[in-house]
Every structure is written in C-alpha cells, then in structure tokens.
Amino acid sequence: MQYRKLGSSDLTVSEIALGSWLTYSGGVEKTQAIACVHKALDLGITLIDTANIYGRGAAETLLGDALHNIKRSSYVLATKLFFPMTETDSGLSRAQIHKQIDASLKRLKTDYVDLYQCHRYDPATPLEETMQALTEVVKAGKARYIGFSEWPADKIEAAFAIPNVAQFVSSQPQYSLLWPQPEAKVIPLCKKHNVSQIVWSPLAQGVLTGKYRPGSAPMSGTRAASPSMGGFFHDEWLKNEILQAVQDLEPIARETGLTVAQLALAWVLREPNVASAIIGATRPEQVEENAAASGHLLSAKVLAQIDAIISPALAAA
C-alpha cells in the first residue's frame, strides 16, 4: 500500500480507502462487513470513510463496533453531514453541525474524527455560518480537519475567501473512467488551494470491474441486481456500448498485470491531486484485489489505449 499527503493537512492517507455507503449501512451482513474492515486494516488501508446518512447512522454504528479496540492513531476516520437524518434535522446550520458531530462521534465510539465533511452544499444556510461552525468543531477537538463533497466550484472559492475560519483540506467528488467531470473545474481549483481529492465510485458502482456483461441482465448478488445496494446514478453505464468498452479493457489490464478493476483504480490514482480512491466491498477478497491497485503507474501508451476505448463509448452512450 502506498500513501499520499491529504491537502494542506498533516494527514497521510492510503491510496485506497474503504467506504461504507451501500455496503455497511445494511447491504452486507454485520459479521462480513466487520471482516472487510479488518481485512482493509491488515492490508494497510488507513482511510475509513462514512457519513451519518448511510443507513441513518447504521454505517457509523457498524464502524464503531468494527474499530472498537483498534489503536485510534492507526487509521484516519472521516464522516459527513448534510442529508436529512429526521424530518427536522438536515443541512449545514451551526445547530446541525454541532448536533450531528456529537451524534456521529457517539455512534463511532470515538472522541474525534480526522476529517469532517460537508456532504453537499447547503443553499439554505449562509456559507459564513457553516464555516464558522466547522471552525468551532475543529477548535473543540471533535474534528482535526474539514472537507466537502460535490460542492460547486464557485462555492469552494467563496469558502476560501472567508477570513479566520478553518480551511478545507479535502474534496470528495465522484470520479472514474466513466465520470471524469471533476477534471474540468474542481480538480484545477483544488490544486490552487492545496485541497486533495478523496474520490467516490472510482469503479463506477462496480461497472468497471467487468462483471456486468453486454446483452445480459445483472447477475444475482451484484449491486445492480440488489434492491438494498442498487441506486445507479447513471443508467447509461449499463448500456451495451459502455459494458462492451469495459470488456475491451480486459486485454490491456492483463498485459499490465492487473485486473480491470485494478486498472480503473490505477487510472484514477494517476492524477496527483487524488489522495485516495474509495472502494466499497462486500467480501474481504474484494478489498484485497482493490488494495493491490495501489502503487501501479500506467504508461502513456496504456493511458492512450484506455482513452481510445472509453471516450467513443461515453460519446455513444
């Protein structure tokens, strides 16, 4: 496992992070989920990412159990807030930030998180109020650093213009071979402000593993076939043009000594501004395969071959 510095912080994180969105919020049986967490730690994965909304506290509770008795300084723990926890609890107001951090810490069975992230931008709360409240959380020692997820570029810039508040060190965008959009605005802006990316869905919700075949229905037990772990954001990813392109990556991956999933993760990690790529895993074996992508550098020739396959498919889908 290789490690990268997280933005302007003093945190070092593993290139592969373990997420808990659809998997550990109810999609995976508890014993198996905990086994995945422990396998990740054994493999050198140090960044564990979650959010209060995942299972409305279920993922944080599971991680609190899984990480209990693990040396706290041996891993980097990140959580988020924004989405509704109840009919009245949502957003990034000062009251919500203080309420939700306390609730998250209780579920996670810890005194602090290393990274507290705004899951989305809150247009209903003045940005100054949000930033000041986050600063108060940092000063109280409940979070070491702060980050954001899927914020518009202008709001990121506006946050950095506010004086005397804690500075963001991380951005969490969706980013993959099938979703390169952050390259246009978010990544260049984050480079300017020394903010690193912790990317989610680098395997495009499993499509970039190659397990979905063109012309065939998703296999039983896969995320696309599971009511509890479904929720595809981009239906076009399951179109034959995309699925065939992913199959066409297999010879390139094999030549490089990687699986298709490892190739896709290495592609994301080719970007220096990406500190870590978040994987989701239902079995310890998946954690092991994905972790093995760390440290692989793709040549210019391989990157060009990948682009020649994926770009036309994205245009056609």
pLDDT of residue 220: 54
pLDDT of residue 215: 73
Q: Encode pLDDT of 93-117 as tens digits.
A: 999 999 999 999 999 999 999 999 9
* Residue indicated by tokens 């209903």: 124
Nearest 5°: CA angle at 212, between 18 and 289? 35
Task: Note the maximum CA span of the chain.
Answer: 56
Q: Grade residue 24 by pLDDT with cuts at 50, 70 and 90.
A: confident
Mean pLDDT of all residues in 292-304: 97
Provide the mean pLDDT of the chain. 94
pLDDT of residue 42: 98
Mean pLDDT of all residues in 302-310: 98
Q: Encode pLDDT of 212-256 as tens digits.
A: 888 766 555 555 555 554 555 677 899 999 999 999 999 999 999
Tell me the two tokens of residue 286.
């998946």
Question: Does position 257 have pLDDT exceeding 60, yes or no?
Answer: yes
Distance separating alpha carbons of residues 69 and 217, to the nearest angstrom: 43
pTM score, two decimals? Answer: 0.93
CB 19 within 8 A of CB 49: yes
Instruction: Based on the residue annotation, tell me whether 54 is a catalytic residue of this protein.
Output: yes
Q: Encode pLDDT of 107-157 as tens digits.
A: 999 999 999 999 999 999 999 999 999 999 999 999 999 999 999 999 999
Tell me the two tokens of residue 166.
């804690």
Distance separating alpha carbons of residues 154 and 302, to the nearest angstrom: 34
DSSP tag of 298: P
Question: Does position 185 have pLDDT exceeding 60, yes or no?
Answer: yes
Q: What is the distance, to the nearest Å, from the Cα of residue 300 to the centroid of all Cα atoms in its chain?
A: 26
* Residue indicated by tokens 């004086």: 163
SS3 call for 255: helix
CB 19 within 8 A of CB 59: no
For 274, phi and psi rounded to 5 degrees? -85, 115
**Annotated catalytic residue, options 24, 54, 116, 145:** 54
